Amino acid sequence: MNSTVPNAGARLDRLPISRFHWRTVGLVAGGMFLDAFEIYLGAAVLGALIKSGWSDLAHNAQFVSSTFAGMVLGAWLAGVLGDRYGRRFSYQANLLIFGVASLAGACAPTMTWLVVARFFMGIGLGAEIVVGYVTVSEFIPPAQRGRWGSALSALTNMALFMSALLSYLIIPNYGWRWMFVIVGVGALIVWYLRKKMPESPRWYEAKGRYADANRVLGEIEREVSLTHVLPPIATALPVRPVERPFTALFSRDLIRRTLVASVILVVLNTVIYGFIAWIPSFMARSGMSIVTSLGFATLMSFGGPVGGLIGMFAGDRLGRKLGLIAFSCVAVVLGAIYPNMTAPAAIALVGFGLVATIYAMVAFAWALYVPELFPTDLRMRGSGFCNTLGRLATVVTPYVVVSLHASYQVKGVVLAMLSLLVVQIIVVAVFGIETRGRSLEALAPVESELAGVSIQSNTSARH
User: pLDDT tens-digit profile of 16-63?
Assistant: 999 999 999 999 999 989 988 888 788 788 878 887 777 777 788 788
Give the pLDDT band of residue 455 (cuts 50, 70, 90). low
| Structural domain includes residue 231 | no
pLDDT at 195 over 80: yes
Helical axes 376-431 vs 57-85, angle rounded to 10°: 120
Q: CA–CA separation, 331 vs 323, rounded Å? A: 12
| Structural domain includes residue 456 | no
Beta strands in 283-407 (DSSP E): none
Query: What average pLDDT is seen over the chain?
Result: 83
> Which stretch, 123-137, 199-213, 406-420, has highest mean pLDDT?
199-213
pLDDT at residue 163, rounded to an integer: 83
pLDDT at residue 449, rounded to an integer: 44
| Structural domain includes residue 241 | no
Give the pLDDT band of residue 65 (cuts 50, 70, 90). confident
Give the residue with greater pLDDT, 176 vs 426: 426
**DSSP characters for 270-316?**
HHHHHTGGGHHHHHHHTT--HHHHHHHHHHHHTHHHHHHHHHHHHHH
Q: CA–CA separation, 119 vs 65, rounded Å? A: 8
Report the pLDDT averaged over residues 102-124.
90
| Structural domain includes residue 230 | no
Q: CA–CA separation, 25 vs 133, rounded Å? A: 10
| Structural domain includes residue 229 | no
What DSSP character marks residue 393?
H
Dihedral of CA 448/452/457/463: which sign?
Answer: positive
pLDDT at residue 456, rounded to an integer: 46
- Over the stretch 201-227, which tens digit does the pLDDT of each residue have? 999 998 989 999 999 999 999 999 999
| Structural domain includes residue 460 | no
Burial class of residue 1, CB neighbours in 10 A (0-12, 13-18, 19+): exposed
Q: CA–CA separation, 316 vs 368, rounded Å? A: 10
Dihedral of CA 417/345/360/66: which sign?
Answer: positive
Give the pLDDT band of residue 119 (cuts 50, 70, 90). very high
What DSSP character marks residue 76?
H
CATH number at residue 64: 1.20.1250.20
pLDDT at residue 181, rounded to an integer: 94
For residue 42, give every residue at least 6 positions away whose Cβ sits within 8 Å of its Cβ, in sequence order, or none: 63, 64, 67, 118, 277
| Structural domain includes residue 233 | no
Q: Which amino acid is at 364?
A: F
Report the pLDDT averaged over residues 229-242.
76
pLDDT at 286 over 60: no
Q: CA–CA separation, 140 vs 149, rounded Å? A: 8
Q: For the whole prediction, is pTM greater than 0.85? A: no
Phi/psi for 238 (5° steps) reads -65, 140
Report the pLDDT averaged over residues 366-395.
89
**For the chain, how many structural domains are there in total?**
1
Single out the residue of 64, 68, 69 nearest to residue 49, CA to CA: 64
CB atoms within 10 A of CB 289: 12
Task: Judge contact between 302 and 325, C-beta under 8 A.
Answer: no
pLDDT at residue 460, rounded to an integer: 38
Task: Judge contact between 267 and 17, C-beta under 8 A.
Answer: no
Over pLDDT 90: what percentage of the chain? Answer: 35
Task: Judge contact between 249 and 370, C-beta under 8 A.
Answer: no
Single out the residue of 397, 395, 370 nearest to residue 385, CA to CA: 370
Task: Judge contact between 127 and 28, C-beta under 8 A.
Answer: no
pLDDT at 431 over 60: yes
Give the pLDDT band of residue 263 (cuts 50, 70, 90). very high
| Structural domain includes residue 387 | yes
For residue 214, give every residue at least 6 positions away whose Cβ sits within 8 Å of its Cβ, in sequence order, or none: 1, 2, 3, 4, 6
> Which stretch, 2-6, 297-301, 326-330, has highest mean pLDDT?
326-330
For residue 120, give its domain range.
10-221+248-448
Give the residue with greater pLDDT, 437 vs 76: 76
